[in-house]
Structure 1
Amino acid sequence: MLNCMTARTNLQSKTDIAPLAMADHFLAAAHALAADPMFGIPPNVREVIARCGNATKLVILGTKGFGAHLMNVRHERPCDVIAAVDDFRYHSGALYYGLPIISTDRFIELARHDRDLVALNTCRYDRPKRFFDQICRTHDIPHLNFEQAVRAFSLQDKVDYRVDDWGADIACNIPAFQRLAQRLADDYSVQTLYAVLNFHLTCEPEYYHEVERPYSTLYFRSGLLRFSDSEKMVDCGASIGESLTGLIGVTKGSFERVWMIEPDRINLQTLQNVLRRYAGTSFASRITVHGCGAGESTTQAPFNHEGGHGGFVKPTDADYEPADLIDIRPIDDIIDDAPTFIKMDIEGSELSALKGARQVISAHKPKLAISAYHRSTDLLDLTSYILSIRPDYQIGLRHHTPDRWDTCLYFY
């Protein structure tokens, strides 16, 4: 077995998307992480943390990425965040969570005078991410990406669960992931699975870049599902209506029915505007909006209403106002016809919603596109449950962004 240092060098210097090579990388990375909880953290960052501990000074690179998750960490942050870098905003005098926003030049100057300074590259998109990485390499500045920071500073269970470190859970479930790989219907799905797992084990985003598909291919252009002019779609997590637009596009407007399920009160206003645009057209009677969440049973739950794609069911022990409560209903009770397609992206509540759709899945075997990137065991739990209802599904997997978001399971 590769020792930890050899594994780190091999896994993070290059990737190989051949299924067998990806599987070998997966085993090596899982064993390396099991042996070394700091696997994937650059040596120069380890040295700084060993010297400085909780007094480690951190500068956030970029103000529109994952940095907000660090600033909103529960309990006390195990580092001293001193500034954020944004060359487009520093001259405005704006603050980032109360921190000064500085230029790249000022960041380099600070790092030159403080060799214990660590940079955290929080950028989501490739160009700014690579720009800051190159700046840090050129000036020999210790730096991390967000996933490495969660691991290095032991932020597991302190950050939003959707950006937790999955590594330990993956390393504990090696046989289950190997069985899932064997169950997938095509090589690209196997490659995608191992790319996702290897990313979470190593914190190396290059694994995603080998298999990522454009966001525009999500749900409707995965290469796995086929759509006809008789589609009846359950849009679970309708958000701002993107999936409706996708269905209209792929069917050229020829579909039979859409149930849009969305609990976020801000998004519901947007969806009502969408419906108004179709008033008086043939679409009007075929689209309905249901202002509730989807779950296993009828109940209520507190909800974080923020609009867009980020709203989620809050833990029952979280602080909330009565107005934040939403109704939760099973899909089996919401819809009034047999669906041909169910799409779900509901921020970690997918398993509960699938349990509330057991009858329609069992009876009608609709195509399914289920988001599987919110919880560390989603890939296993969601697949296991769906196959317990209909073991005759074929399974595909695609990843639709250049970062950790939008890994989607497809059942057909």
Structure 2
Amino acid sequence: MKANAAALEAELSRRLAAYRAGRDWRVLEESAAAALDLTGRPVALLGAGSVLAQPFVAAALARLDVRLLVDNARIGQTMGGHVMAGDAALAAVAAATPGLIAVTCAAGEGGMAHFTRLADGLGLPVLGLFQAMRRLDLHHIAGDAALIDHADPDRLVTALERIAVKGWFQDAASRAALAGLALYRLSWDDRWLAGLRDPGGIYFGSDALDVGPDEVMVDGGAHTGDSIADLARHTGGRWRSVHAFEPDPANADKLAAAWGGRADVILHRLGLWRQSGELRFNGAGQSGSALADDGDMLVPVRALDDLDIGPVSLIKLDVEGAEAAALQGAAATIRRHRPKLALSAYHRAGDLADLPALVDDIQPGYHFRLRHHGAAWFDSVIYATWEGGSGKGDGR
């Protein structure tokens, strides 16, 4: 069932008015979770090894009555004086600990669903990671370097105000996606995601983007080649060329093994950035590998404008929060060729407004459409086509 844009917008308007009246995030949640207070309650942290959750986990260990850390991938490891346990330990602790609250720290779709089911099955009240961070006011100290700023409602409210002024995302599907995502990110209640997921699939299956056999694609954040495989499914395996950018050495090796046999897939073992040089990087051979000030390795980065790859018809960016920097480094390419853009817009809380604003500054005249492709807060994508391009629908 498709989400109803008008109904979602009306509910969003009501909640925003209530929030602006008192700046109390509890009016945004409006659920059983809103009454949960972590102070003075025993807590179990589920998926405690999640990289995203580490600032929260550190604060929780210092400030809360933490009784158990659960992480099935790190059983036996020690964190803050606690030995991490597997799922089975939760039942025993829950039975022996009246008033126990579970916090799901996992960031991935599978982990979130798994730990929520585990806690629900034991009758434990559950808070999501972002809900728990609000209760410790972590969103006021985390800053832009992490996804944690998603816990701060003011960041999203500001983005929504900018979007309204600019008039972006005006087709019906974009309006529903924006209002539904806003309600979800303000409340962290996943019922607002019902009907939002684009049935066509991310990027090339979306109704917001046309692709064909003549594409020259820049694949920023190519990972192990999953986006290239998806493009192949939608074009019959035909394109002029794909320039695949992947700075993680382990991922790049897998990418080369999968697609190195095709002369029209050019692998660039580097990241895209606003300027060329070297930056620190956390490389784990995973989809979440990212540039980071405390990264464990140095990787080369390049501005797309510094590379001689000729006319470009499509730029896809899923670069773990570096989308804005990559766009800045591609400004001349965008002005010259006006390619279609597919931009991941969930790594930073302001992406929904910051990315279209940046594209507008680089080259006015793009139409913007928003689609959501995930079962949680990730995989929201902004599709942009220049007004003379081949995008579908009315995205003004």
Q: Shared topology, TM-score over 0.5?
A: yes
1:225 is matched with 209
Deviation at 1:361, TM superposition (A): 1.0
**2:117 equivalent to 1:131:** yes
1:146 is matched with 129
Counterpart of 2:186 (choices 169, 180, 201) is 201
Deviation at 1:326, TM superposition (A): 1.7
Q: Secondary structure at the match of 1:410?
A: strand
Deviation at 1:130, TM superposition (A): 5.9
**2:66 equivalent to 1:81:** yes
Counterpart of 1:116 (choices 74, 99, 105) is 99
**Map 1:61-76 → 2, pairs under 5 A:** 61=46, 63=47, 67-71=50-54, 73=56, 76=59
Q: Quick one: which amino acid aligns to residue 49 of structure 1?
A: L
**Map 1:231-310 → 2, pairs under 5 A:** 231-276=215-260, 278=261, 283-284=262-263, 286-310=264-288
Call closer, same or farther: CA 1:174–1:254 in 2, change over 3 Å.
Answer: closer
Query: Conserved in 2, the CA contact under 8 Å of 1:266 and 1:307?
Result: yes
1:212 is matched with 197
Query: Which segment drifts farther, 259-268 or 122-131?
Result: 122-131
2:391 is matched with none
Question: RMSD value over aligned CA atoms?
Answer: 3.0
**2:357 equivalent to 1:372:** no
Query: Conserved in 2, the CA contact under 8 Å of 1:371 and 1:409?
Result: yes
Call closer, same or farther: CA 1:334–1:81 in 2, change over 3 Å.
Answer: farther
**2:3 equivalent to 1:30:** no
Cα distance in 2 for partners of 1:239, 1:67 equals 20
Q: Quick one: which amino acid aligns to residue 103 of structure 2?
A: L
Counterpart of 2:164 (choices 149, 167, 178) is 178
Query: Conserved in 1, the CA contact under 8 Å of 2:33 and 2:127?
Result: no
Call closer, same or farther: CA 1:145–1:155 in 2, change over 3 Å.
Answer: same
Q: Quick one: which amino acid aligns to residue 289 of structure 1?
A: L
Call closer, same or farther: CA 1:381–1:82 in 2, change over 3 Å.
Answer: same
Cα distance in 2 for partners of 1:207, 1:359 equals 39
**2:358 equivalent to 1:393:** no
Cα distance in 1 for partners of 2:102, 2:351 equals 31
Count of residue pairs brought into register by the alignment: 371
Query: Which segment drifts farther, 378-387 or 68-77?
Result: 68-77
Q: Quick one: which amino acid aligns to residue 396 of structure 1?
A: R
Query: Conserved in 2, the CA contact under 8 Å of 1:75 and 1:158?
Result: no
Cα distance in 2 for partners of 1:79, 1:71 equals 15
Q: Quick one: which amino acid aligns to residue 9 of structure 2?
A: A
Call closer, same or farther: CA 1:355–1:261 in 2, change over 3 Å.
Answer: same
Query: Which segment drifts farther, 27-36 or 365-374?
Result: 27-36
**2:152 equivalent to 1:187:** no
Query: Conserved in 2, the CA contact under 8 Å of 1:48 and 1:116?
Result: no
TM-score normalised by length of structure 2: 0.83
Deviation at 1:391, TM superposition (A): 2.6
Call closer, same or farther: CA 1:294–1:127 in 2, change over 3 Å.
Answer: closer
Cα distance in 1 for partners of 2:33, 2:265 equals 56
Cα distance in 1 for partners of 2:377, 2:258 equals 29
Q: Secondary structure at the match of 1:147?
A: helix
Identity level (%): 24
Q: Secondary structure at the match of 1:60?
A: strand
Query: Which segment drifts farther, 157-166 or 230-239?
Result: 157-166
Q: Secondary structure at the match of 2:342?
A: strand
Q: Secondary structure at the match of 2:205?
A: coil
Counterpart of 2:291 (choices 313, 335, 350) is 313
Cα distance in 2 for partners of 1:275, 1:173 equals 39
TM-score normalised by length of structure 1: 0.80
1:10 is matched with none
Query: Conserved in 1, the CA contact under 8 Å of 2:77 and 2:84?
Result: yes
Question: Structure 2: which 5+ runs fail to align?
Answer: 386-396
Deviation at 1:199, TM superposition (A): 1.0
Q: Quick one: which amino acid aligns to residue 227 of structure 1?
A: V
Call closer, same or farther: CA 1:370–1:31 in 2, change over 3 Å.
Answer: same
Q: Secondary structure at the match of 1:131?
A: helix
2:300 is matched with 327
2:332 is matched with 359
Q: Quick one: which amino acid aligns to residue 115 of structure 1?
A: P
Q: Secondary structure at the match of 2:85?
A: strand
1:12 is matched with none
Query: Conserved in 2, the CA contact under 8 Å of 1:361 and 1:389?
Result: yes
Query: Conserved in 2, the CA contact under 8 Å of 1:73 and 1:158?
Result: no
Deviation at 1:327, TM superposition (A): 1.9
Cα distance in 2 for partners of 1:120, 1:146 equals 6
Question: Structure 1: which 5+ runs fail to align?
Answer: 1-14
Query: Conserved in 2, the CA contact under 8 Å of 1:84 and 1:102?
Result: no
Call closer, same or farther: CA 1:107–1:76 in 2, change over 3 Å.
Answer: closer
Deviations 1:106-161 (A, max 9, x none): 6455435433311123563486366346435xx4x332122211212223244971
Cα distance in 1 for partners of 2:93, 2:276 equals 55
Cα distance in 1 for partners of 2:173, 2:279 equals 38
2:38 is matched with 49
Query: Conserved in 1, the CA contact under 8 Å of 2:247 and 2:270?
Result: yes
**2:7 equivalent to 1:21:** yes
Cα distance in 2 for partners of 1:108, 1:45 equals 24
Call closer, same or farther: CA 1:409–1:44 in 2, change over 3 Å.
Answer: closer
Deviations 1:62-112 (A, max 9, x none): x4x9855334548543324332568xx69x975585322242xx6455435
Deviations 1:143-195 (A, max 9, x none): 21222112122232449712431422122344213235x42242011100111
Deviation at 1:220, TM superposition (A): 0.5
Cα distance in 2 for partners of 1:288, 1:130 equals 42
Deviation at 1:356, TM superposition (A): 0.9
